Amino acid sequence: MEKVPPPDSRIDMERVPAHIAIIMDGNGRWAKQHGKTRSQGHEAGARNVRVVTEACRELGVRALTLFAFSTENWNRPQKEVDDLFRLISRAMQQYANRIHETDVRLRHLGDLDGLPKSAANDVRKCMDLTSDNKTMDVCVALNYGGRAELVRAARRLADEAARGNIAPEDITEDTLAQHLYLPEHSEVDLLIRTSGELRISNFMLWQISYAEIVVTPTLWPDFDAQALYDAVIAYQSRDRRFGGRP
Provide the annotated active-site residues. 25, 73
Rounded to whole angstroms, the Cα distance separating 176 from 98 reads 35
SS3 of 213, please? strand
φ and ψ at residue 132, rounded to 5 degrees = -100, 0
- Provide Rg for the chain, Cα atoms: 18
Identify which of 105, 171, 168 has the alpha carbon closest to the alpha carbon of residue 139: 105
SS3 of 123, please? helix
Amino acid at position 184, single letter: E
Three-state SS string across 9-75, please? Answer: CCCCHHHCCCEEEEECCCHHHHHHHCCCCHHHHHHHHHHHHHHHHHHHHHHCCCEEEEEEEEHHHHH
φ and ψ at residue 135, rounded to 5 degrees = -65, -45
